[in-house]
Amino acid sequence: MDSIRIQGGRPLKGEIRIGGAKNAALPLMAAALLTDKPLVLRNMPRLADIATMGQLLAQHGVAIDLAEPADGVSGRVATLNAAGVDNTTAPYDIVRKMRASVLVLGPLLARFGRARVSLPGGCAIGTRPVDLHLKGLEQLGAEIELNQGYIVATAPNGLIGADVVFPFVSVGATENLLTAAALAKGTTRLRNAAREPEVSDLAECLVAMGAKIEGIGTDTLTIDGVEALHGADHEVPPDRIETGSLAMAAAATGGDVTLLGARPDMLEQVFRTMGQAGAVLDVEPDRVRVRCPRVVGVDVMTEPYPGFPTDLQAQMMAMLTRAEGASMITESIFENRFMHVPELTRMGANINLHSRSAMVRGVRRLTGAEVMATDLRASVSLVIAGLVAEGETIVNRVYHLDRGYERLEHKLAACGAQIERVSR
């Protein structure tokens, strides 16, 4: 199993190119199931989760072709053709690896009138049920049963538009309902919909495929179902979470890094909070330069977009471990997303947990240690801590990292970090 070995204490300096967004690419890939015409997705990141979604779609019968980009710098070009889908079951073996597999439910049900998708089960950061996905689809006329660990959904006469009010914001439920409603009969209104940029991007792609959607970017999406969708050619936006993670790594090490091919407009709240914590950010439409002469304590609360993302909470905490003063970090999205705290503490951080809040009192130094990654974002927070710590840090279980960060150690090494992957 691979580990990452880091000799800390060097400021990051240089330029890093941001890859395509994993969380945008996954629902876009699932949307290919909605049509029998090819969907071309550009700037696809090379990540384990993308490969898993490819595997899932392939076993449904989707033909996938991957090509290198003409410009040599952006991500790969995937052409997905779901003309030959012959299997509407998403098996446990794949779904258990990645919860986002549940995103095939809406498209399969809408186009084929049936789907059998394994229940994803729990994961390291909480129970993460899919009740909102299922209730919403039932409101569109689906009949849903749970049978032997599988969601068995049918809509023999097709889905029918309805008013769906989400009791709280869910990115995945909004995406599943959006794709399902695109082919439903009549009008669907999704209220209290997620406004995450990845949801808007999916909606834009669906529009390019012939869907009728209004209110993109707001919390009310109105979808007029159409008979059929066609193919499209769509570019995956840059990954805002990778951008934020690397910006925090640059700031935590007191470095000077320019992140290229980014979309700073998707990170306004993050950059505001980093600014309050002492970072200096020079923002241009497609790049951001990050410096940070000193880190000061700041309070952070995770919230649905446009608030501070839960997917950057662990990285922000790593940055604040050496701040002057204290920070209060409150996690409002997931009930168990502080798995990185004991590991950061082993490196010398001073963190006290009180229910959903963590009090981080800045310390003068962190020291390297052997630590264990527990989930995707926790693992990158340990890498950030390793970059600022004195001595050697070894981050184990880096398969979590590979799910969502492309060539992270190469990108950091190119900015002067002493970091390498070791196979043990």
384 binds ligand UD1 (CB under 6 A): no
Q: Under a CB-based contact definition with an 8 Å cutoff, are residues 384 and 252 in contact? A: yes
132 binds ligand UD1 (CB under 6 A): yes
Site for ligand UD1 in 5-24 (CB under 6 A): 23
Minimum distance, C-beta of residue 15 to ligand UD1, in the bound complex (Å): 26
Q: How far apart are CA 25 and CA 182, in angstroms?
A: 18
**CA of 354: how far to CAs of 336, 340, 359, 379, in Å?**
12, 15, 8, 22
| One of 133, 263, 400, 411 touching ligand UD1 (CB under 6 A) | 133
| Minimum CB distance to ligand UD1 smaller for 231 or for 375 | 375
CB half-sphere exposure, 76, CA atoms < 13 A = 16
Q: How far apart are CA 241 and CA 308, in angstroms?
A: 11
| One of 25, 173, 251, 371 touching ligand UD1 (CB under 6 A) | 173
Minimum distance, C-beta of residue 259 to ligand UD1, in the bound complex (Å): 20
Minimum distance, C-beta of residue 133 to ligand UD1, in the bound complex (Å): 5
Rounded (5°) CA angle 97-172-222: 155
213 binds ligand UD1 (CB under 6 A): no
| Minimum CB distance to ligand UD1 smaller for 173 or for 347 | 173
| Minimum CB distance to ligand UD1 smaller for 201 or for 311 | 311
**CA of 7: how far to CAs of 385, 397, 418, 424, in Å?**
11, 18, 5, 18
DSSP conformation class of 9: -
122 binds ligand UD1 (CB under 6 A): no
Residue 25, both tokens: 């690419």
| One of 30, 48, 171, 394 touching ligand UD1 (CB under 6 A) | 171
129 binds ligand UD1 (CB under 6 A): yes
Minimum distance, C-beta of residue 318 to ligand UD1, in the bound complex (Å): 17
100 binds ligand UD1 (CB under 6 A): yes
The residue sitting closest to ligand UD1, measured at its beta carbon, is: 172
Q: How far apart are CA 363 and CA 14, in angstroms?
A: 27
Short-list 3, 1, 10, 4, CA closest to 391: 10
Peptide bond into 69 cis (omega under 30): no
What positions carry a catalytic annotation?
123
48 binds ligand UD1 (CB under 6 A): no
Site residues (CB under 6 A) for ligand UD1?
A: 23, 26, 99-100, 126, 128-133, 170-173, 198, 309-311, 333-334
